[in-house]
Every structure is written in structure tokens, then in C-alpha cells.
Amino acid sequence: MTDLPSPRISDLARGHSPQGAADYLSGLNPEQRLAVETTEGPVLVLAGAGTGKTRVLTTRLAHILATGRAKPWELLVVTFTNKAAREMRERITHLIGPSAEGLRWLGTFHSVAAQILRRHSELVGLKSSFTILDTDDQERLLKQLLEAANIDTKKHTPKSLAHLIDHWKNRGWTPEKLPPGEDFANGKGHALYAAYQNRLATLNACDFGDLLLHNLTILSQHADLAEEYRRRFRYILVDEYQDTNVAQY
């Protein structure tokens, strides 16, 4: 926290702050304003589509910055889609101006996770220059593994295995943690998953599911790094996530 006295909310709302903040609180209804101004402790906003949840989060972000509660690089702001991330950055830039450029940790779950993974890739057997496979590359690689295991790729398709592996990764399961009940191609799922992960490491590559899964592995196995990121971020703001995705949660 800054040692300097924070400008009053009323001054900020009138655009009288030293930072020249815009009238970012105008137009909010009482419930929205309460969510924006409640900055200590957890806050959960529940509302229907089109009721201004993203606006509340963006304005809350502006409020945290304008009142000196955190610097832009001390904020972790995540959402689900690239489109939402772009819109959020545009909105916050409109509200607070050039200082929005310091929001290094605003993006999708996967883009933020990729930043962290490139910093610590060696901890999961990768180099920082790793590539991220798209769906087609992933399915081509899985087809090679299925054929090498003499599995009929028409009966057990690469696409179906790709979907299953994505499901496993969304649950936070590495090959070692995969439950016995989860399987593919008559008992070969565990071996195929392990072979796939080994091949990815050999290629210095990962898929989209790995971006989150590798982060979980790194932060759960290295308490010092987990604590470093806890200290780094004063606030964590989540716009939207898939509540069925354990890895995102």
C-alpha cells in the first residue's frame, strides 16, 4: 500500500484526483458501485447476462489503481476469451489512460499461464522457447501414437482421444494422477496419455491444456514460487471462467 494519502472517492468521481482520473464511477447503480468500492476481502458478483458484470470489474480495476491500492503490474486480471480480454483492456485504457499499459497480467487464463510457464518451463521439462500445438497438430501427433500402438484409428479416432485428454487436463490430472476408471481403447488410455506427454516434451511443445496443467504442477510442487506469485499480486480479478473446469478454478 502507498504511504501517501489516497484521494477521496468523491474527488476521483469528479475528475479532481492528482492522476486526473475520469469520472469512472458515474452511471453505476448502487449495487454496482458497492462492488467497485469494496476492495478489501473477497467479492463475488452474481448477475445475469448483459447486466454489467464486466463493467463492474473494469471499473473496480480502475478504482484500485486510482486510489493507489496497487500498481498495474501488481494486478492479476483474467477472463475466458481473447475477445473479452481485448475489450477489457480497451475499457480500462479509456478509463485510466496510458498507465493501463502496465497491466502485464491482464489476459485469458491461457495467455497468463503461458507467461508464467515460459518463466519456469524447465521445471516441467521444457525450454522457454516451447511451441503451442493447435488442434490439427495435436490430432496428427495422437494419430501417430495410435498407429504405433496398433490401435484402429477409425474406431478410436485421434479426435476422440484429443477430447478425452483435454478433459483429463481440465480436471487437473497428469498421467500419474489419472484415476483408474478413466480409459480409452480397452485399457490403453493411461499409456497413450503418458506417451503423448513424453512426445510433447521431446518436441519442446505443449497443447492448450498443458498451459494450465503445467502451471498447477509448478505451483503445487514449488512452494517458493507459489509464495512469490502470492506476494506479486495484491488483487486477483476474474471476469469469467468455466465453472466445470477444475484447472481454471
CA distances from 93 to 99, 101, 149 (A): 8, 8, 53
Contact 66, 21 (CB under 8 A): yes
Q: Which three cell numbers stand for residue 155?
A: 474406431
Closest by Cα among 101, 24, 102 to 67: 24
Closest by Cα among 227, 17, 239 to 25: 17
For residue 88, count CB atoms less than 10 angstroms from its CB and return exposed for 0-12, middle for 13-18, buried for 19 or more.
Answer: buried
Domain ranges of the chain: 9-105+233-238, 124-217
pTM for this one? 0.84
* Model pLDDT, residue 66: 87
* Model pLDDT, residue 16: 39
Instruction: Provide φ and ψ at 163, rounded to 5°.
Output: -65, -40
E strand or H helix at 221: helix 208-221
* Fold of the domain built from segment(s) 124-217: Arc Repressor Mutant, subunit A (1.10.10)
* Fold of the domain built from segment(s) 9-105+233-238: Rossmann fold (3.40.50)
Helix-helix angle 30-37:53-66, to 10 degrees: 40
Separation CA 216–CA 218 (nearest Å): 6
How do the pLDDT tens digits run along the chain, 249 residues long? 333 333 333 333 333 343 434 478 888 999 999 999 999 999 999 888 888 888 899 999 999 998 999 999 999 999 988 998 998 889 888 888 887 889 999 999 999 999 999 999 999 999 999 999 999 999 999 999 999 999 999 999 999 999 999 999 999 999 999 999 999 999 999 999 999 999 999 999 999 999 999 999 999 999 999 999 999 999 999 987 778 889 988
